Structure 1
Amino acid sequence: MPNYLQFLIVFLGGGLGSCSRYVVSKVISSQLESIFPWGTFTVNIIGCFLIGIFIGMIQRFQFHPNLTVLLVTGFCGGFTTFSSFSYENYLLLKNSEYLLGLLYTFMSLCWGFAATFLAIFLIRRF
């Protein structure tokens, strides 16, 4: 049986995350005109850092489980953009931008992992 309160919490967090993604992506894309998808890249790295902060804080301070549902599942799930990342890679490859597609994938993975691990480390350290 689903927990309806948690469903609503995910709904709220996801909506806030999606709206935040839209704003951040639009601002970045308007400032950096390029074939490289800077908006999505930036959102994904910020999202990786945020999920690290949220998980680190939740583990360290043992917050209520609903906060995990709100921040990690809801907000970060709505904020990060793996489907956009996938589609933008498709477009780069379709346009024969092979090196840029490889660079985008590599940078997203490396910086994403680094941001998550850095955030968890910082929360645990301080």
Structure 2
Amino acid sequence: MNWLMVVAGALVGAPLRYLTDHAVQGRHDTGFPWGTFTVNLVACTVLGFLTGAATATTVPQPLQHLIGPGLCATLSTYSTFSYETLRLAETGAKFFAAANVVVSVVAGLGAAYLGTAVAHAVFQS
């Protein structure tokens, strides 16, 4: 049953990543990978919220599988982040490459923390 929930979440997460990435990147005329940055932050926030909710209250395991390894794992993309960072460095945009690494890691951790804090505030009130 859990694997079906992961598949169901992935069926939503993968196309959502693709569509969001292209929509966001299409609004920016820069080499910085804003689309990938956006989907990764959203996934970090949602996964942080799920984690906070699961520690503050009972979240059914099928729902955890649907959202965590299903939706969030396919919404976020470490491989694309890595590829885009290398592409930036190879094309001479070393500042953007370094900024992508630092800002993505710091913002991703901050988003996960924020999601967890919001869930605790919501479910422990």
Using structure 1 for the length normalisation, give the TM-score.
0.92
Deviates more, 1:90-99 or 1:55-64: 55-64
Deviates more, 1:54-63 or 1:64-73: 54-63
1:25 aligns with 2:15: no
Q: Shift of residue 60 of structure 1?
A: 2.0
The runs of 5 or more residues in structure 1 that have no matched partner are none
Root-mean-square deviation over aligned CA pairs: 1.0
> In the alignment, which residue of structure 1 is the partner of 2:65?
69
| 1:11-49 Cα deviation digits (max 9, x unpaired) | 111121111111211110111121000000011111111
- Aligned partner letter, 1:38: W
SS of residue paired to 1:63? coil
Q: Shift of residue 61 of structure 1?
A: 2.4
SS of residue paired to 2:29? coil
> In the alignment, which residue of structure 2 is the partner of 1:107?
103
Q: Shift of residue 104 of structure 1?
A: 0.5
> Where do 1:1-126 residues align within 5 Å?
5-126=1-122
Alignment size in residue pairs: 122
Identity percentage over the alignment?
Answer: 27
Q: Distance in 2 between matches of 1:122 and 1:73?
A: 21
Q: Shift of residue 59 of structure 1?
A: 2.5
Using structure 2 for the length normalisation, give the TM-score.
0.92
Q: Shift of residue 73 of structure 1?
A: 0.8
SS of residue paired to 1:31? coil
| 1:47-101 Cα deviation digits (max 9, x unpaired) | 1111111121222221111111110111001100111001001101111211110
Q: Distance in 2 between matches of 1:71 and 1:122?
A: 17
